[in-house]
Amino acid sequence: MTPRTLTCLVSEVEDLTPDVFRVQLEGRPEAVAHEPGQYLELKLADDLWVPFSIANAHGGDGAIELHIQHWPERENSARLRELIQVAERLTLRLPGGDCILDPDSTRPLLLIAAGTGFSQMKAIIEAALHDDPTRNIDLWWAARERRDLYLERLAREWAEGYTNVHFHAVSEIPPETPVDGERIHGHLGRIDRALATTLDDVSGHDVYLSGSPGMVYACVDVLASLGLEASRVFSDVFAYAPRDPIVPTAGSLVKEHRS
């Protein structure tokens, strides 16, 4: 799709946690059309556009959902929060990004996110379940502590409502109560290490990752040792922070391990 610049109505702003808020926007359905997994850019000033993943699959109703992390100490974050609180309309540019759900694939989905990277996975899951409610989906969501999993209830609803969906909650700080439930799994520590100790073969999966470059590539390296196919792994990180190769070969992994 060719990117478009448009103005959307701010219909709701909701605090999900003290650090994350959700913004609901409304625009013309044909103008806000996008593929699941794409992002938009929000205009803060004439020369300043800030990217955010679109947190909902396109439903033809003109709705756009954003999940925004608020960093009080960062100037742009404070400006954005102030702008959204007072603005009735926002100027957007969309869609962007090639990390989209492959409409021709029926392979199981392995979705890996950190923090508000969940927003991109939310759109992918909504579209995947709409197209095929029986498709196998494993969602891994990492945060420093459990309270940062700001829509854990939604991930739980997917796992409890679909026998083919599993939710893995990963936190670095032990939660006060265990993370458990029907097809719900809790893990402690870094997400790349949790993947390494839990998974055994990902060769048949489509893999999507959303997070910092360090987190994404750490996970890719783990998955490469478990059969990850280079043509079936997707992340926006590959476009703005590329490395060569994106997926290391088995030989390079052995060499790195020995060194």
Q: What is the mean pLDDT of the chain?
A: 93
Give one DSSP letter per residue of 130-189, joined into a string: HH-TT--EEEEEEESSGGG-TTHHHHHHHHHH-TTEEEEEEESSPPSS--EETTEEEEES
1 pLDDT tier (thresholds 50, 70, 90): confident
Across the range 156-182, mean pLDDT stands at 96
Q: Among residues 30, 23, 29, 19, which one has the least CA distance to residue 50?
A: 23
**Opening angle at CA 238, ends 236 and 243, nearest 5:** 160
* Residues 92-133 pLDDT 10s: 999 999 999 999 999 999 999 999 999 999 999 999 999 999
Measured in degrees and rounded to the nearest 5, phi and psi for residue 3 equal -60, 140
Measured between alpha carbons, how far is 126 from 187 in angstroms, rounded to an integer?
24
Confidence band for 250, pLDDT divided at 50, 70 and 90? low
Q: What is the pLDDT of residues 199-224, one digit of tens each?
A: 999 999 999 999 999 999 999 999 99
Q: What is the pTM of this model?
A: 0.94
Instruction: Point out which residues pair with 69 in neighbouring strands.
Output: 20
Averaged over 176-191, what is the pLDDT?
A: 94
Q: Find residue 48's DSSP bridge partners.
A: 45
Query: Average pLDDT, stretch 122-151?
Result: 98
Picking from 137, 141, 134, 128, the residue whose alpha carbon sits closest to that of residue 110 is 137
| pLDDT greater than 50 at residue 258 | no
Q: In this structure, are residues 37 and 99 in contact, taking their beta carbons and an 8 Å threshold?
A: yes
9-39 per-position pLDDT tens digit: 999 999 999 999 999 999 999 999 999 999 9
